[in-house]
Amino acid sequence: MNTSLLQQVILFHPTGNQFVRALLAALFEHGLLAEFFTTITPPASIIPFIPASIKEKLNRRSFPIPSARITRFPLRETLRLVAGAVGFSRIIEPETGFACFDQVAQSFDRLVSKKIRDNWAGKIAWVYGYEDSALQTFHEARKLNIQCAYDLPIAYWKTSRALLEEECSRYPAWKDTMRGAFDSQKKCERKDGELDLADLIICPSIFVLETLPENVRKTKPCIVVPFGSPENIFQKRNPYSNNFHEPLRVLFAGTMTQRKGLADVFQAMKLLKRKDVSLTVIGTPCAPLEFYYHQYPDFHFEPSRPHNQVLQLMSSHDVFLLPSIVEGRALVQQEAMMQGLPVVATVNAGASDIIENEKTGFIVPIRHPEIIAKKLDWMADHREKVKEMGFAAHLAASRLTWSIYAKKIIATLKTSI
């Protein structure tokens, strides 16, 4: 499709992820992509010679467009990856380290803004950026009468901070697992600056939308575009998942923090007091494992692993549990549903549009482990119903595709061109 440059979009993100790739592919397919900016992509010639941990991260940064349409700024991000692999923590200290993610994002933003100023004045309709890496680019775009689309993947920072500060009071021992509560004022001011400059705000869930300041929602177009679900084939469940004489297998997956509600998971299991309900936790610890076993000793820990292995582990469980305190839209919920697991989650986890009580799972309020315990108790007593809910969960999640996600964003951009 031949499209005038004046209708095109520059997309920029320092690392890339699934929703960036989905939008990037669709923009390119519709002839709307002017250029994509990122930090680093996998250089095939050196992949065999770099540490396995870095290779794995780089392999997730392949993008579905010709390399000639990608501009890279790799220096700081390369330093960040190497420093993390060799344990050189000083230069990746949050916010202050030369190669920490905050500095990577800000440096990237400055470099993108210069490219916009030097190469794209009067040639494009939109720049499309993401939280923490868009402030300077939006400033430059505004000067050039280029519209700014802002993708906000998680709740507005004031809501997040308030919720997590309350959690620090509620569970003091878990304070160190909730580092997001302590972003500097300068970083928060940058977030507000990005919001102020945005002409369009894209949110992944109603929860995120409702956390935006009222004046932003009243004065700017704000849309909700749910993430797509993984396009995998429904896997046959582990045979013993259908043996109702075995324990109900409950799975929690994610960073092991109370931001994800893990303290409430443990408390719910204590209240449940059932030997026929087991808990598996897969994720990255934010504290020594001894800390977690001290909080609740009867869970089975599984370390983080490649994505396909996570899906395989999901398929051997019966229920997915994510009582998050603050999220944007946790993709892991839809991944679990695609594997045939009903989900017990909070509205704040961001998927209340597809989690329907007693049909695809349960929505529970935040900070109520006793309600979580009651839902798990009911599910342990209604195993055949849980199996039916799992099939319904798969169907509900499968209706959300990355193609639908990208098309809605593109339709909104084109309407405003």
- Asked, colleague to colleague, whether 5-228+402-415 and 239-398 share their fold, the answer is yes
Closest-CA residue to 379 (of 249, 239, 235): 249
Per 3-state DSSP, the chain is made up of helix, strand and coil in percentages (nearest 5) of 50, 15, 35
Is it the case that residue 310 has pLDDT exceeding 80?
yes
Q: How far apart are CA 357 and CA 205, in angstroms?
A: 18
Does 372 or 58 have the greater pLDDT score?
372
Closest-CA residue to 197 (of 105, 133, 135): 135
Q: What is the mean pLDDT of residues 74-92?
A: 88
Mean pLDDT of the chain: 91
Please answer whether residues 341 and 397 qualify as being in contact, where contact means their C-beta atoms are separated by less than 8 angstroms.
no
Q: Indicate the pLDDT class of residue 181, thresholds 50, 70 and 90.
A: low
Beta-strand (E) ranges in 225-358?
248-253, 277-283, 299-303, 319-322, 343-346
Q: What is the mean pLDDT of residues 79-103?
A: 89
Domain boundaries defined on the chain: 5-228+402-415, 239-398
- Category of 87 on φ-ψ map: left (φ > 0), alpha (ψ -120 to 50) or beta: left
Give 43-58 pLDDT, tens digit per residue: 644 455 566 666 666 7
Q: Indicate the pLDDT class of residue 232, thresholds 50, 70 and 90.
A: low
| pLDDT confidence of residue 48 | 54
Q: Indicate the pLDDT class of residue 19, thresholds 50, 70 and 90.
A: very high
Q: What is the mean pLDDT of residues 314-318?
A: 95
| pLDDT confidence of residue 246 | 87
Does domain 239-398 correspond to CATH entry 3.40.50.2000? Answer: yes
CATH of domain 5-228+402-415: 3.40.50.2000
| pLDDT confidence of residue 78 | 87
User: In which element (H, E) is residue 150 found?
Assistant: strand 147-151
Q: How far apart are CA 117 and CA 243, in angstroms?
A: 63
Q: How far apart are CA 316 and CA 297, in angstroms?
A: 22
Q: What is the mean pLDDT of residues 170-175?
A: 96
Q: What is the 3-state secondary structure (H, E, C) of 211-243?
A: HCCHHHHHHCCEEECCCCCCCCCCCCCCHHHHC
| pLDDT confidence of residue 316 | 94
Q: What is the mean pLDDT of residues 336-361?
A: 97
